[in-house]
């Protein structure tokens, strides 16, 4: 059985992720198939694109990184770098696509799932939606264009989301800019049927308002601590605060790679005011290109996915050990190895 279903129905191009048993984790072949379909439909008689997924647990819980880990463990970094290079090109194509792209984001939407599902024009969440960028927990920075979304979130909410991996329900995803509409999941099939006929206006007509989520109520805490200029200053600020928020936030950050968190902050600061995705992907690729050879990615995957001991041995034991020179080394321009946009439309 194929991992993905790509077809045309009525006026819609349809892409359905079909690995529900693996939480629809994105494989390299799936990345290439989605890109090929979008390229084909660009000039075809297709009015819009629908991206959805099978199962009720996840739209897409991330990238399938088993092969990336195995090759990186052997000292072969080429596969991972090519995966990221091609995946980021797909993320840019979705963000810049000239036709409406409607995504249905049930359950977990994380990492690579954000890159496929959260850059389109109409991003729909429902009751089960849980959206997050937890990459710092495996020694990466929020990528697949997610850094741009974090940078554009209200105030310094993006820094909080990136450094903690906080899971956003539907209301929080709308507030942070990761989604556009809440539609009850019981109505999704009828909405898709209308979209196949080309009725895009029904998305907004079926959208339902939601009560306030968690993030809005945390803004005073988030602003107080995450407005600080460095990872160490944020950690110090939280440590001096005896609130439940500070305690829980420090606990979440303590699980993550200090280098990844410091680089995440640097990327978000660089992207302040940015509206286009390519500069974000360029910065992300500087980190991911080096993540296996110079960063904590291999150890992060070992602890989280392979051995599952949840006890990573990060290169730096805490924020105080991350130097400015180390951050600059991880985010330095890649020269001839940088992302190449010449084949983009």
Q: Which of 33, 52, 64, 143 is catalytic?
A: 143
Helix axes 157-164, 231-239, angle to 10 degrees: 90
**Which listed residue (135, 172, 180, 296) is catalytic?**
135
What number of residues does the chain have? 345
The token pair at 302 is 């070992």
The reply to whether 63 belongs to the active site is yes
Q: Confirm if 139 and 312 have CB atoms less than 8 A apart.
A: yes
Strand partners, 48: 12
Q: Which member of 62, 107, 111, 112 is catalytic?
A: 112
Q: Are strands 108-110 and 58-60 parallel, antiparallel or unpaired?
A: parallel
Interacting residues of 180 by C-beta distance below 8 A, sequence separation 6+: 121, 122, 123, 124, 174
**Two tokens, residue 54:** 């099978």
Q: What is the CA radius of gyration of the chain?
A: 19
Candidates 63, 117, 137, 139; catalytic one? 63
CA distance 267 to 152: 12
**Spatial CB neighbours of 277, under 8 Å, sequence gap ≥ 6:** 91, 92, 95, 96, 119, 145, 148
Sign of CA dihedral 328, 330, 331, 333: positive
What tokens does 299 get?
A: 């150890």
Q: How far apart are CA 19 and CA 292, in angstroms?
A: 27
In whole angstroms, give the CA distance from residue 223 to residue 239.
Answer: 15
Measured CA to CA in angstroms, residue 297 lies from 69, 201, 218, 305, 333 at distances of 8, 43, 30, 11, 20
Q: Is 162 considered catalytic here?
A: no
Residue 112 designated active-site: yes
- d(CA 111, CA 25) in angstroms, rounded, equals 10
Query: How far is the C-alpha of 302 from the C-alpha of 26, rounded, in Å?
Result: 19
| Catalytic residue IDs | 63, 112, 135, 143
């Amino acid at each position: 059985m194929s991992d993905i279903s790509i077809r045309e129905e009525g006026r819609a191009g349809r892409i359905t992720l079909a690995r529900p048993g693996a939480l629809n984790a994105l494989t390299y072949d799936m990345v290439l198939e989605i890109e090929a379909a979008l390229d084909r439909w660009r000039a075809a008689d297709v009015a819009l694109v629908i991206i959805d997924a099978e199962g009720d647990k996840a739209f897409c819980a991330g990238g399938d990184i088993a092969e990336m880990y195995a090759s990186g463990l052997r000292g072969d970094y080429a596969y991972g770098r090519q995966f990221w290079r091609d995946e980021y090109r797909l993320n840019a194509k979705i963000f810049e696509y000239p036709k409406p792209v409607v995504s249905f984001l049930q359950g977990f939407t994380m990492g690579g799932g954000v890159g496929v599902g959260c850059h389109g024009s109409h991003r729909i969440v429902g009751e089960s939606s849980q959206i997050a960028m937890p990459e710092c927990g495996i020694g990466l920075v929020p990528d697949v264009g997610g850094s741009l979304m974090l940078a554009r979130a209200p105030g310094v909410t993006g820094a909080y989301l990136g450094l903690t991996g906080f899971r956003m329900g539907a209301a929080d995803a709308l507030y942070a800019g990761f989604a556009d509409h809440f539609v009850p999941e019981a109505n999704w099939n009828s909405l898709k049927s209308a979209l196949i006929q080309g009725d895009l206006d029904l998305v907004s007509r079926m959208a339902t308002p939601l009560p306030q989520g968690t993030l809005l109520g945390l803004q005073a805490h988030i602003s107080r601590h995450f407005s600080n200029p460095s990872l160490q200053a944020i950690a110090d600020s939280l440590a001096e605060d005896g609130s439940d928020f500070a305690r829980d936030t420090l606990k979440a950050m303590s699980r993550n790679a200090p280098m990844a968190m410091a680089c995440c902050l640097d990327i978000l600061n660089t992207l302040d005011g940015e509206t286009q995705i390519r500069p974000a992907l360029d910065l992300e690729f500087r980190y991911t290109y080096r993540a296996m050879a110079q960063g904590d990615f291999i150890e992060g995957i070992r602890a989280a996915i392979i051995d599952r001991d949840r006890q990573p041995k990060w290169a730096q034991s805490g924020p105080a050990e991350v130097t400015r020179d180390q951050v600059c080394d991880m985010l330095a321009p890649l020269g001839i190895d940088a992302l190449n946009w010449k084949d983009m439309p």
